[in-house]
Amino acid sequence: MLLMSSPVLTTVEDSIGIISINNPPANVLTEEVFRGLDSAFETFLADTSIRGIILTGEGGNFAAGADISQIATLTDEEEGERTSLEGQKMGQRIWNSPVPVLAAINGYALGGGSELALCCHLRIATTKARIGQPEIKHGFIPGMGGTIRLPRVVGPTKAMELLLTGEPIGPEEAHRIGLINFVVHEDELKRQAMGLLKKIGRLGREATENTLQAVRKGIDLPLEEALKLESKLFGELMPTGNKKEGVNAFLEKRTPIFT
């Protein structure tokens, strides 16, 4: 079922929401694209039947970054800061999703495109993918969280190299440093992305939500506070029907049927 038109397309397949950036040829992230993305995520995150979301790009590229012509019009500090905050708000909506969001990266994921992918919980890329933060080559820095999220994903040393040189990397290097989960052939991207999210979607929803919450919040807390949070989220699951079903299925040596 086609839910939206250009520049952002959305479909639902097997309870998985698919959001595709559709701004050819490179899927530049214009203001119109951001409005479309915001609307698409708002729709899917309000739908309790959605078990996962794929974010990808049409036409062979994920997203080649922000619209430089729009960046060129930013000459005021406060306006620049507002633009950055709006982009970060979009990223936080993705990161705070109660269902897993997977970036299916085909072709270029540069600048804002890379930052969008970093906001997702999972990332897979094709053998033709190129990922990077080239902003420094244009005289500015990432403004959608790239300088903050990238070090948390790959570590500060490698992040410094990527951010200070602006050089993109291929999928093998991205996988080696933990930036993506795995590499697939181009014609396998959608199938692999759907397969991973459907596998997660078959598990108990409460446990999935609490896992996301534990990692999302715990990563920013001191160790002792993070451990207390984990204990709280663990305890919340004890009375649930899905926890009972999962434990009983294990003891009875059968496949659990989660609701």
Q: Give per-residue burial for 214-224: e unless 16+ CB within 10 Å, then b.
A: beeebeeeeee
Write down the catalytic residue from 79, 115, 186, 245. Answer: 115
Alpha carbon distance 183, 200 (integer Å): 19
Q: Is 115 a catalytic residue?
A: yes
Alpha carbon distance 199, 201 (integer Å): 5
Beta pairing class for 8-13 and 16-21: antiparallel
Asked if 80 and 112 count as a contact pair (C-beta separation under 8 A), the reply is no
Peptide bond connecting 239 to the previous residue in cis, omega within 30 degrees of 0: no
Write down the catalytic residue from 32, 135, 188, 209. Answer: 135
For residue 150, give the amino acid letter.
L
Q: Can you say how many angstroms the Cα of residue 71 is from the centroid of all Cα atoms in its chain?
A: 23
- C-alpha triplet 152, 132, 78: angle, nearest 5°: 75
Active site residues per annotation: 115, 135
